[in-house]
Amino acid sequence: MKKINGDFFNKSIVSVDQFSKADIEILFELAAEYKKGISNGMVFNDLNGKILTALFYEPSSRTIGSFLGAMQRLGGGIIPIHGILNTSVVKGEILTDTINIFQSYSDVIAIRHPEAGAAEIAAKAAYIPVINAGDGTGEHPTQGLLDLFTILEKLQRTNNLKVAIVGDLKYGRTAHSLSKLISIYPKNTLYFISPPQSPMPDEVVKIVKKNGAVVKTAKSIEEVLKTIDVLYMTRVQKERMEEEVYEKMKNSFILTGKMARAMKKDSLIMHPLPRVGEITMDVDSNPRAMYLKHQMRNGMFIRMALLRLVLKK
Ligand code: CP
């Protein structure tokens, strides 16, 4: 897909690979402006008259909710397609035809789809911007961006970080997007911690190394717990594997309150959510925990900024 190169207008956003540091800066600056404004009770009308189709072939709570919230916070309209059971997809309609329908009714499409690469296919078929809201085991760029925004906001830097990414790294699309984003900043070390059945895909490892990050692996969270700046937990993607494999992989890595308390004082505990047992509930009140409040809320501001930038010069 086309690099953003300082100009988001009318571009589809399929992968974090499209972003340079300067593009991220533009996005984060606007997201921070919206965050400040909304927190002060401001009302925005930047996208008055524009319509977003949220076309979600897979379940979602946060991503669809924050995309729809973002569009309405900017004064825009929404066509929410939350699940395809009541659409003509069940009659056999192909993806590109579905895209064609919704681009006739709206100005931007956010798509979530079970197949990696589907967002790119949709983007190539569309004359309006398409935003990847998670494509199977591929990427989840807006999640990676909100994660990075949260890291910058809380630690005041995106470089010189030690970040452990934990869980089902083969299938976890948020892990792919965040790892690639972290790797474009200098002096960052990524620790990949996964069950042996589900390592970080070679193509992602290749990209993050090429970008300049140091890549290490560890067998347990405890190995790195006291030295890392960010602990990014992810769930095992049950829906992408056989039940038998899931049973072996689930509960491979669990962060407890006691472990969380042993982390560096100014470190962060993150999770894209939903969690299914990887973080025990006694971690929630730890000041390092970012997943319930900060990441979630930042997701809306990042999506507001992205919608605004792709829809208006
Ligand atoms: N983080 C995330 O993508 O959550 P949802 O699946 O609920 O959208």
Burial class (CB in 10 A: 0-12, 13-18, 19+), 135: buried
Residue 1 has pLDDT above 90, yes or no: no
Give me the pLDDT at residue 240, please.
86
Question: Under a CB-based contact definition with an 8 Å cutoff, are residues 227 and 162 in contact?
Answer: yes
What's the 152 CA to ligand 1 centre distance in angstroms?
A: 21
Catalytic residue among 35, 112, 173, 294: 112
61 lines ligand 1 (CB under 6 A): yes
Instruction: Specify whether 11 is catalytic.
Output: no
Q: Which residue among 35, 73, 140, 170 is the active-site one?
A: 140
Q: What are 145's two structure tokens?
A: 């961006």
| pLDDT tens digits for range 189-228 | 999 999 999 999 999 999 999 999 999 999 999 999 999 9
- The predicted model scores a pTM of 0.97
- Say yes or no: CB of residue 273 within 6 Å of ligand 1: yes
pLDDT tens profile 66-104: 999 999 999 999 999 999 999 999 999 999 999 999 999
Question: 42 C-alpha vs ligand 1 centroid, how far in Å?
Answer: 27
Place of tokens 């035809």: 97
**Ordered structural domains, the chain, with CATH:** 16-140+296-311 (3.40.50.1370), 142-291 (3.40.50.1370)
- Determine the distance separating the centroid of ligand 1 and the alpha carbon of 266, expressed in angstroms: 26
> By the 8 A CB rule, do 41 and 51 touch?
no
CB distance 76 to ligand 1 below 6 Å: no
Closest-CA residue, ligand 1 atom 3, reads 63
d(CA 54, CA 17): 22
